[in-house]
């Protein structure tokens, strides 16, 4: 019997730790212009907004919905952008319920650096799926968040669920 530590692998987080992800420009502007959605974790392209998974998630399935247009101010969104953010939020919640079965959700904007926005000049609406018991001692004692599934496995599940909703 091995009495050592279990290993938790999350190699994609190294870019966050070393800060190299900050040299890529605004992810909400750059990534949708590229043609590699899976690599960029881009789940859906709408008319005025897109859905992207958070590369450095709080929980499995943590997604962000943002307008294509670069703005950090909620009051600058036009009616089409506001409506699409809300419609895509509903679609994401339904897709998550159908694919990863969370017990609840945290959803909302972090507007401005003081509010916790990691990218404060391009607003984005977060949806974080939550499960009963998904908080434990690791973040408190070990300053570590355990993500229990590889991010691309979660991407594939959510992408399939969103595509199924689009077909209806």
Domain boundaries, the chain: 25-167
21 catalytic residue (yes or no): no
Binding positions for substrate are: 54, 116-119, 126
Annotated binding site: 54, 116-119, 126
Query: Diameter of the chain by CA atoms?
Result: 61
CA distance 75 to 96: 28
Instruction: Examine the pLDDT at 138 and tell me if it is beyond 90.
Output: no
Whether residue 139 has pLDDT greater than 50: no
Instruction: Kindly report, residue by residue over 2-42, the tens digit of the pLDDT.
Output: 555 555 555 655 655 666 555 578 999 999 999 999 999 99
Q: What is the pLDDT of residues 1-11, one digit of tens each?
A: 455 555 555 56
d(CA 142, CA 115): 24
Counting residues of the chain whose pLDDT is more than 90, the rounded percentage is: 61
Q: Find the mean pLDDT for residues 68-86.
A: 97
- Return the percentage of the chain with pLDDT > 70, whole number: 77
Whole-angstrom CA distances from 147 to 31, 58, 92, 151 are: 23, 8, 19, 8
Q: Check residues 57 and 66 and name the one with the higher pLDDT.
A: 66
Q: Given this model, what pLDDT does residue 12 score?
A: 56
* Residue 140, number of CB atoms within 10 A of its CB: 9
**Mean pLDDT over residues 70-93, rounded?**
97
Q: Give residue 166's pLDDT.
A: 87
Dihedral of CA 44/125/118/97: which sign? Answer: negative
- Say which residues have a Cβ less than 8 Å from residue 101's Cβ, sequence separation at least 6: none
The pTM (predicted TM-score) of the whole model is: 0.80
- Give the model's pLDDT for residue 135: 61
Question: What was the pLDDT predicted at 94?
Answer: 98
Mean pLDDT value of segment 105-109:
95
Domain 25-167 carries which CATH code? Answer: 3.30.428.10
């Amino acid at each position: 019997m091995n009495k050592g530590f279990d290993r938790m692998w999350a190699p994609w987080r190294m870019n966050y730790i070393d800060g190299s992800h900050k040299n890529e420009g605004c992810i909400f502007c750059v990534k949708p212009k590229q043609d590699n959605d899976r690599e960029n974790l881009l789940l859906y392209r709408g008319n005025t907004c897109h859905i992207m998974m958070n590369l450095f998630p709080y929980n499995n399935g943590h997604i962000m919905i943002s307008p294509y247009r670069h703005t950090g101010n909620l009051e600058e969104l036009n009616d089409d952008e506001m409506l699409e953010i809300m419609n895509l939020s509903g679609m994401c919640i339904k897709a998550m319920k159908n694919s990863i079965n969370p017990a609840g959700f945290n959803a909302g904007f972090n507007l401005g650096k003081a509010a916790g926005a990691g990218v404060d000049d391009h607003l984005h609406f977060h949806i974080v799926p939550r499960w009963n018991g998904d908080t434990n001692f690791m973040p408190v004692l070990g300053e570590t968040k355990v993500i229990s599934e590889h991010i691309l496995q979660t991407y594939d599940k959510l992408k399939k669920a969103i595509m199924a909703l689009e077909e209806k």
